[in-house]
Amino acid sequence: MNELEASKEITLIAAASENNALGKNNQLIWHLSEDLKRFKRLTQGHSIIMGRKTFESMPKALPNRKNIILTRNKGYKAQNAWVVHTIEEALKLTEGDLQPFIIGGGEIYKLFLSHADSIELTRVHGNFEADTFFPEIDYKNWELVEEEKHLSSENQPYDYSYLKFRKIK
């Protein structure tokens, strides 16, 4: 591993409720426009790794990002995206990117949790019914380094907080 790769920071980025709900029926449960703008700002110009279902939930590959899809489906094809079948293949495609992002879904977050260096989590304050969940954060391994609280408003229906965690080395 060269010095550049050693300074790589793999980041999980997600919006999850108090009960770690992420989505239901391959859709987000809430619409927080400020959080979507933040997601775009943080991930633009970077590699984003996602599962097939997450990719299929989007209208198309996200622009100005290297879209990498991790799937078990060997015949899967996607427009404007790279398709891989192992974590190692996905990470190899991020060479030269100092901060690739893991953008979901639930199974992909679980697979990459041990590889991640940081977590950018939007914690939506409330409990929601879901079929996809963010993995439990083991606070023995992760330290909260930033927190920014936001109250609900006319166009933001829920209170939420931006939380940044760093892996404890």
pLDDT tens-digit readout, 3-28: 555 679 999 999 999 999 999 999 98
Tens-digit pLDDT profile for residues 66-112: 999 999 999 999 999 999 999 999 999 999 999 999 999 999 999 99
Task: Output DSSP code: residue 86.
Answer: S
> How confident is the model at residue 4, as a pLDDT?
52
In sequence order, the 6+-apart residues with CB closer than 8 A to the CB of 17 are 29, 123, 124, 125, 126, 127, 128, 130
Neighbours of 19 (CB within 10 A): 13
Q: Is the model's pLDDT at 33 over the cut of 70?
A: yes
pTM of the model: 0.94
100/34 Cα distance (integer angstroms): 21
153/166 Cα distance (integer angstroms): 29
> How confident is the model at residue 155, as a pLDDT?
81
> How confident is the model at residue 68, as a pLDDT?
98
Tens-digit pLDDT profile for residues 34-79: 999 999 999 999 999 999 999 999 999 999 999 999 999 999 999 9
Q: Are 161 and 120 in contact (CB under 8 A)?
A: no
Pairing label, strands 47-51, 142-150: unpaired
148/38 Cα distance (integer angstroms): 13
30/10 Cα distance (integer angstroms): 26
> What is the topology classification, in CATH, of domain 3-167?
Dihydrofolate Reductase, subunit A (3.40.430)
Tokens of 138: 């083991």
Tens-digit pLDDT profile for residues 121-156: 999 999 999 999 999 999 999 999 999 999 998 888
Residue 160, exposed/middle/buried by CB under 10 A (0-12, 13-18, 19+)?
buried
Domain ranges of the chain: 3-167
Q: Are 53 and 67 in contact (CB under 8 A)?
A: no
Pairing label, strands 21-24, 132-133: antiparallel
